[in-house]
Amino acid sequence: MLAYYFNLALRSFKRNKVLTALMVLAIALGIGASMTTLTVFHVLSGDPIPDKSDRLFYVQMDPLPMAEYTPGEEPPLQLTRFDAEKLLQEKRGKRQAMMSAGSVAIEPDTPGLTPFMLQGRFTSADFFPMFEVPFAYGQAWTGADDQAHARVAVISNELSQKLFGNADPTGRTLQLGSTAFRVVGVVSDWNPNPRFYDLTNNQYSGDPEEIYVPFSTTRDLNLSPSGNMSCWGDAGDDMAAINAPCIWIQYWVELGSAAQAADYRAYLSNYSDQQRAAGRFQSPTNVRLSDVMTWLDHNQVVPSDVRLQAWLALGFLGVCLLNTVGLLLAKFLRRGGEIGVRRALGASRGEIFLQCLVEAGTVGLAGGVLGLALAMLGLWAVRHQPTNYAALAHMDAPMLLITFVLAIASSLVAGLLPAWRAMQVTPAIQLKSQ
């Protein structure tokens, strides 16, 4: 029966081409605008590590002097090197990692390659299992390597190809400035967006980090951190020194349960109290422990203008649906005579209602196809905008499915009133007027 009604809908489209085109265009414009903005919102608001986002926590505490203290204000986004290293040594979590962005100079042995600079990450061994970093070759360095300040490095697959070709480079030597490092692992394709583990730099990075080295080693060699650094008081000449009053380290901890999170938060409060007693901290205890999604929300990873655009696009879809309701109503009521004949021949009101809904759904299907094309065009335009998330504006399979579901569902909703009015047609009156 549905196939028969679908065939009737196609015949109706041929008889009323202009009216059909207007309805399809109305649905398509609403769907195109909505799916463009919803796709961008979907990309930016997704969980970057769904398997364990509720077990990874970002640590904050307030080491600032009283002169910079404001009651109720959030603690700084980063830690001092002293506090980060102290927390790392005490190992109160299942895993923990301190880190900072950094710049390194590569002295390649490959003929034809000149020295070049790379953006990397200065971190500790647990970084890789914590954030589920995939490896193409080798593995991460160990905690023992951190303690030994070992000259080891993990590199990206792209850098491996550039320096060593297709061969497995683990065990090979990599020259960072004047120091030789041993390659222990090669990261496979891994470039989470947003870069949730370090939101102090570019939140949406087009290029993955290409080299990872132990934080302890970078301090021995005075490699340059490139992240955000904020100091107070007398920081001296070396702002990266362990006792320098500077905040520049990101610190993450992996915990197993909500109870462990509560215990760790209490541990942070006790640590803050101890540092105040020792004279390092001056402000009242102010610590935060945020899981991944809370941390992303706190940092407004989804820009407010993207949220506003999504709501405006949905409002525009509503306007398009109102227009579609009017057009469907006009179309169905113009066929009163045809509906009256069907009723006189035995069709029930429910069958008339279903026929009209199938026709409305067919309009939605056609509008969805055209709306998908318009959404693709809209996403292409977004990718050419000067925003740091522009490159991420691509439609995935779930959003593709949602496009057609939304188009058909919207058209069915728009068709409810016209279909209800059509099934109310009185056969006798219509037949008498013929």
Q: 225 with 319, same domain? A: no
Query: Predicted confidence band at 338 (pLDDT cuts at 50, 70, 90)?
Result: low
Q: What is the pLDDT of residues 378-434, one digit of tens each?
A: 999 888 887 777 777 888 888 999 999 999 998 888 888 888 877 776 654 444 445
Same domain, 87 and 233: yes
Q: Look at residue 424 and tell me if it is in a domain.
A: yes
The rounded Cα 176 to chain-centroid distance in angstroms is: 33
41 and 115 part of one domain: no
Structural domain contains residue 169 = yes
pTM (2 decimals)? 0.81
- Domain enclosing residue 187, as ranges: 63-285
Report how many helices (DSSP H) and strands (DSSP E) the chain contains, helices first.
14, 13
Q: Identify the domain boundary among 285, 311, 343.
A: 285
Is there a domain that residue 216 lies in?
Answer: yes
- Pair 117, 18 in one domain: no
Query: What does the pLDDT read at residue 430?
Result: 45
Report helix, strand or coil for 228: coil
Same domain, 414 and 379: yes
- 296 assigned to some structural domain: no
128 with 183, same domain: the answer is yes
Q: What residues form DSSP beta bridges with 57? A: 253, 291
Residue 143 has pLDDT above 90, yes or no: yes
Instruction: Report, in this order, helix, strand and coil percent for the chain, each rounded to 5.
Output: 50, 15, 35
Question: How buried is 237 (Cβ within 10 angstroms: 0-12 exposed, 13-18 middle, 19+ buried)?
Answer: exposed
- Within this chain, do residues 377 and 405 fall inside the same structural domain, yes or no? yes
Q: Is residue 293 part of a domain?
A: no
* One domain for residues 13 and 143: no
Task: Answer whether residue 291 is part of any domain.
Answer: no
**What average pLDDT score do residues 269-283 get?**
93
**What values do phi and psi take at 208, rounded to 5?**
-70, 160
Helix axes 349-383, 17-45, angle to 10 degrees: 50
Confidence of residue 49 (pLDDT cuts 50, 70, 90): very high
User: Pick from 431, 79, 363, 428: which is nearest to 229 by CA?
Assistant: 79
Determine, yes or no, domain membership for 57: no
Element (H, E) at 156: strand 152-156
Q: At a CB cut-off of 8 Å and minimum separation 6, what does 149 contact? A: 214, 216, 217, 220
Distance of CA 33 to the CA centre of its chain: 20
Q: Quick check: 371 and 29 in contact, CB under 8 A?
A: yes
State the DSSP string of 75-131. Answer: PPSSEEHHHHHHHHHH--SSEEEEEEEEEEEE---STTPPPEEEEEEEE-TTHHHHT
For 354, counting Cβ atoms within 10 Å of its Cβ (0-12 exposed, 13-18 middle, 19+ buried), the class is: middle
Residue 346 and residue 272 share a domain: no
**Domains held by the chain: number:** 2
Whether residue 426 is contained in a domain is answered as yes
Q: Look at residues 285, 313, 335 and tell me which one is the last residue of a structural domain.
A: 285
Which DSSP helix (H) or strand (E) runs through 247?
Answer: strand 246-254
Asked if residue 16 and residue 68 are part of one domain, the reply reads: no
User: Are 83 and 200 members of one domain?
Assistant: yes
Quick check: 370 and 364 in contact, CB under 8 A?
A: no
Residues 262 and 355 in one domain: no
pLDDT above 90: residue 2: no
Residue 102, both tokens: 């950094």
